[in-house]
Amino acid sequence: MNDERTENMNRRSFLKKALGSILAVAGLSGTTYYYAREIEPGSLHINENIIASPSISPAFNHFKIVQFSDTHLGFQYTLDQFKQLTKTINDLQPDVIVFTGDLVDEPHLYHWDNRLIGILRSLKAEHGKYWIYGNHDHGGYGTEIVLDVMEQAEFTLLKNSHTMIEIEGDTFILAGIDDVLLGKPNIKEALRDVNPDLFTVLLAHEPDYADKTVEFPVDIQLSGHSHGGQIRFPFLGDVYTPAYAEKYVEGKYTLQNGKLDLYVNKGIGTTRVPYRFLCQPEIHLFTLMNKA
């Protein structure tokens, strides 16, 4: 089923990707090449969003969730850069921090050391730090290594599971699934025994999973994986995105007349090619508000 979906998406987007590849090679030269290689990958956009819903208790007014994703450490993204990112996140004073996958680019080749654990541990959020697997975390025999690092850094894994975030007796649900491509996602298990009337946020690395999520009592899905395409051109849009990030690439999408809102984070690092063009790295800052 996954192979058929991927084949169909690739067929529909073949011409766009072929044209985009030609433009990328031709266009990323001279000043443009320098900008895409040296300047934009090191910039950072803080994408601020207010999430208002009657399902959100007034106790959570101004509650802040910071999402970061796809750091891909080891491929043109260093620990020094990551340390600066964590300072920026802490400056936002988040109540919850979520990481939506792909910590390092190639786990089996990465030089793991305690400095990474220390940087991750320096992130502070009163109501917890949570993460889910991405495909690169499972790839390259990284599953257990990444889990150990994140546990030492005081991050809680949401793998087909959920937690309840509580203030003054009121709660909302934060759930997460395993990676779609290389893991075993199970949204039914993630939402087991959840009160469907409670405001619910789902972490899912691959954004196109939203077409399944919308069948469940989930209000918001937070994803990464796409990198926003990394290289984008006016009118053409993204040059390439991986499987399960071909339909929903970046920004906010509303599914089934407001039943589910999907936010796709463009990520921090790069992969395959060390460029970003018209596609700044970003973190998301979500502020919750009760909507009477």
To which CATH superfamily is domain 2-290 assigned? Metallo-dependent phosphatases (3.60.21.10)
Lowest mean pLDDT among 39-43, 188-192, 194-198: 39-43
- How far is the C-alpha of 290 from the C-alpha of 61, rounded, in Å? 6
DSSP 59: G
More confident: 30 or 279: 279
Per-residue pLDDT tens for 143-173? 999 999 999 999 999 999 999 999 999 999 9
- Are 239 and 229 within 8 A, CB to CB? yes
Q: Reply yes or no on whether the pLDDT at 30 is more than 80.
A: no
With cut-offs at 50, 70 and 90, classify the pLDDT of residue 29: low
Per-residue pLDDT tens for 172-181? 999 999 999 9
Q: Reply yes or no on whether the pLDDT at 19 is more than 50.
A: no
- pLDDT > 90 in the chain, percent: 79
- Dihedral angle computed from the Cα positions of residues 241, 244, 246 and 248, in that order, rounded to the nearest 10 degrees: -110
Question: Which residue carries 């508000």 as its tokens?
Answer: 289
Closest to 158 in 3D by CA, of 134, 174, 181: 174
**In terms of residues, how long is the chain?**
292
The alpha helices in 28-126, defined as continuous H runs, are 30-34, 79-91, 114-121
Q: Reply yes or no on whether the pLDDT at 31 is more than 80.
A: no
With cut-offs at 50, 70 and 90, classify the pLDDT of residue 140: confident
Q: 160: alpha, beta or left, given left = phi > 0 and alpha = psi -120 to 50?
A: left
pLDDT number for residue 27:
52
- How far is the C-alpha of 103 from the C-alpha of 28, rounded, in Å? 27
- Are 132 and 187 within 8 A, CB to CB? no
pLDDT number for residue 14:
47
- How far is the C-alpha of 286 from the C-alpha of 263, rounded, in Å? 10
pTM exceeds cut of 0.75: yes
With cut-offs at 50, 70 and 90, classify the pLDDT of residue 28: low
Domain ranges of the chain: 2-290
